[in-house]
Amino acid sequence: MSKEYYSTIEVANILRVSRKTVFQWARDGKIRANKVGKNYIIPHVALLEKLGQDIGRDKKAEIENVINKALKDYEETFRRLGKE
């Protein structure tokens, strides 16, 4: 069973980076975190996203947009490739 929230030290150990790096990621919005006093706690889902085990809603939407643009821009090319 996994924890719901992790401390910056725990995340640093899991990701093999310094606690300061995790703190900066949290402050800069590079990892989703909740501020508690002077520190941050990182939700389990955010840790999974950082580990790449879960894409996350934002990344999923970004990937979807890229795919839709490629389909629009290269529709005819894809159609021809599909016939080969």
How confident is the prediction along the chain (84 residues), in pLDDT tens digits per residue? Answer: 478 999 999 999 999 999 999 999 999 999 999 999 999 999 999 998 888 876 777 888 888 899 999 888 888 888 888 876
Task: Please state, in angstroms and rounded to a whole number, the distance separating the CA atoms of residues 57 and 82.
Answer: 30
Count of CB atoms situated within 10 Å of the CB of 42: 24
Say what the alpha-carbon torsion angle 62, 64, 66, 72 is, to the nearest 10 degrees.
-150
CATH topology assigned to domain 1-53:
Multidrug-efflux Transporter Regulator; Chain: A; Domain 2 (1.10.1660)
What pLDDT does 27 receive? 94
What pLDDT does 1 receive? 47
